[in-house]
Amino acid sequence: MDRPAADHRERRSPEQRPDRPCTAQDYERALAGAPLFTALEHYAEIDSTQVRARALAAAGAPAGSLVVAERQRAGQGRHGRSWFSPPGGLWCSLVLRAARRDFAEGPPLALLAGLAIARGIEARTGLRTALRWPNDVMRGQRKLAGVLVDLLGQSAVLGLGIDVAVAPADFPPELRQVATSLLAEGALELERPPLLRAVLQALATLLAQWEAGEDAALVAAVAARMPAIGRQVRVCEPAALPGAPPRTGRLVGLGPRGELLLAPAGAPPGAPPERIWSGRIEILEDPAGGDG
């Protein structure tokens, strides 16, 4: 499962290479009849699928409108950060519309989408991945995928980025120690359109549970893939504000809406955990295994 992947690339013809450009027809064939999908816009290159999907949502595009690009010139991450989006990755944004609940209720969509990516990857490749709250999918200590959510009234634009067939040498130097790809992790199944279908299938199941109010089960499923729970952590930018002081302590779990439950360092025994709604987690001790 974890064999080096370089030889797989070398044995493939140019038409078979996993980082070859996919076409709109590739995605339409793979997504035919898939849940949550209704219409496709495919680009060889675009500034940002998220910007385009937000425009579609604002213009009244139907739920299931999907924007996919082979490469992004200005991919977006949380808090305005850039997202490295070269050829070989799965870069897409999906318009969703709430039917029976508001997207602001229950566990955040970002957590559910991260879990859907993890399940989709496992279904297609067998690789087990972990979640780093609130929106990252990890393989060991390296980031494999991420999620971006924009809420627009009763609509949501869900951005997904998965490093599928990005070779380690293709990452910029500042990312080589913190990012990975399915190719680098030795996955043998690297076709992006079927992977997207698997992610959408997993997400549809999770959204059905969310609409049914099964919040406790969803939060438990997310927590089960979080190796940070039970460990000493630092939460940076806990108020989603650059420069806000970090909080340290033991992460005891997730609350009913997916918030962090942190036992702050120095708190008296029996004190209730602090609830943290946004931020970035750093584990202060090496997790055992690391793949959740």
CATH code of the domain containing 50:
3.30.930.10
Q: Which two tokens stand for residue 272?
A: 């209730």
Taking only the tens place, the pLDDT of each residue in 161-173 is: 999 999 999 999 9
**pLDDT at residue 205 tops 80:** yes
What pLDDT shows up at residue 220? 98
What pLDDT shows up at residue 153? 85
Nearest CA to 192 among 11, 29, 5?
Answer: 29
Q: Is the dihedral of CA 115, 40, 211, 158 positive or negative?
A: positive
Orientation angle between helical segments 109-125 and 215-223, nearest 10 degrees: 60
Same domain, 238 and 139: no
Same domain, 70 and 131: yes
Q: Is the peptide bond before 62 cis (omega within 30 degrees of 0)?
A: no
Same domain, 144 and 207: yes
Q: What is the mean pLDDT of residues 61-88?
A: 81
Which residue range(s) make up the domain with 185? 6-223
Taking only the tens place, the pLDDT of each residue in 93-147 is: 999 998 889 998 999 999 999 999 999 999 999 999 999 999 999 999 999 999 9
Q: What is the mean pLDDT of residues 207-213?
A: 96
Q: Which of 223, 243, 262 marks a domain boundary?
A: 223
Nearest CA to 200 among 70, 65, 76?
Answer: 65
Same domain, 139 and 262: no
Contact 250, 263 (CB under 8 A): yes
The answer to whether residue 291 sits within a structural domain is no
Nearest CA to 116 among 96, 135, 97?
Answer: 135
The answer to whether residue 290 sits within a structural domain is no
**pLDDT at residue 17 tops 90:** no
Same domain, 149 and 251: no
Same domain, 258 and 155: no
Contact 234, 281 (CB under 8 A): yes
Same domain, 38 and 169: yes
Q: How many CB atoms lie within 10 A of CB 78?
A: 18
Overall number of domains in the chain: 2
Contact 253, 229 (CB under 8 A): yes
Same domain, 78 and 159: yes
Q: What is the mean pLDDT of residues 228-257?
A: 85
